[in-house]
């Protein structure tokens, strides 16, 4: 049962007078389980903003910031600054996320590029089919359109 479906039963248990009092004073009804998802969304939004703030930083293989990054170094750095710990490589990061469908992806989710079952690149989904990433040697951290359908999405827990 989703958190939203539990709201009416919570209100019924609280009683009409309590709910009306709560509404009159501008309070809110707390839904169990909703805070964990809201916190995860908050970390993802922060990580996305941190990655965007690194626009123009040079790519360097093996670098984890704060001035140079490789792809997984950028995601690791961004989520660490947002309060979440990720492993070092793109494949390890994929294994530590909650996998989501393209239909359910959200800004702040990780985008994993794969060939067959092997993950070889990662970035942070920015919405509208774009991601922030550190592409390759000679390039810089930038916002780019996702160029292939060979991607998986993962949500940092």
130 — phi, psi (to 5°)? -120, 160
Nearest to 134 by CA among 55, 79, 47, 81: 55
Rounded Cα–Cα distance for residues 126 and 110 (Å): 9
3-state SS of 37-85?
HHHHHHHHHHHHHHHHHCCCCEECCCCECCCCECHHHHHHHHHHHCCCC
| Residue in 67, 99, 114, 133 annotated catalytic | 133
Active site residue 133: yes
Please tell me the distance from the alpha carbon of residue 154 to that of residue 87, in angstroms, as a whole number: 13
Instruction: Tell me, yes or no, if 71 is annotated catalytic.
Output: yes
Between CA 118 and CA 91 the distance in angstroms is 7
114 labelled catalytic:
no
**Which residue among the candidates 67, 71, 99, 114 is catalytic per the annotation?**
71
Q: Catalytic amino acids?
A: 71, 121, 133
């Amino acid at each position: 049962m989703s958190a939203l479906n539990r709201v009416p039963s919570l209100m019924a248990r609280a009683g009409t007078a309590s709910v009306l009092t709560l509404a009159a004073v501008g309070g809110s009804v707390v839904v169990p389980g909703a805070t964990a998802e809201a916190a995860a969304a908050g970390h993802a939004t922060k990580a996305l903003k941190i990655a965007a703030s690194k626009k123009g930083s040079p790519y360097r293989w093996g670098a984890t910031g704060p001035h140079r990054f490789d792809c997984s170094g950028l995601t690791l750095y961004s989520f660490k600054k947002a309060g979440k710990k990720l492993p070092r490589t793109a494949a390890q990061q994929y294994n530590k996320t909650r996998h989501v469908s393209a239909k359910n992806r959200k800004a702040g989710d990780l985008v994993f590029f794969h060939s067959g079952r092997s993950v070889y690149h990662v970035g942070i989904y920015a919405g509208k089919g774009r991601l922030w990433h550190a592409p390759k040697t000679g390039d810089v951290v930038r916002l780019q359109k996702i160029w292939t359908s060979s991607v998986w999405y993962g949500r940092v827990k």
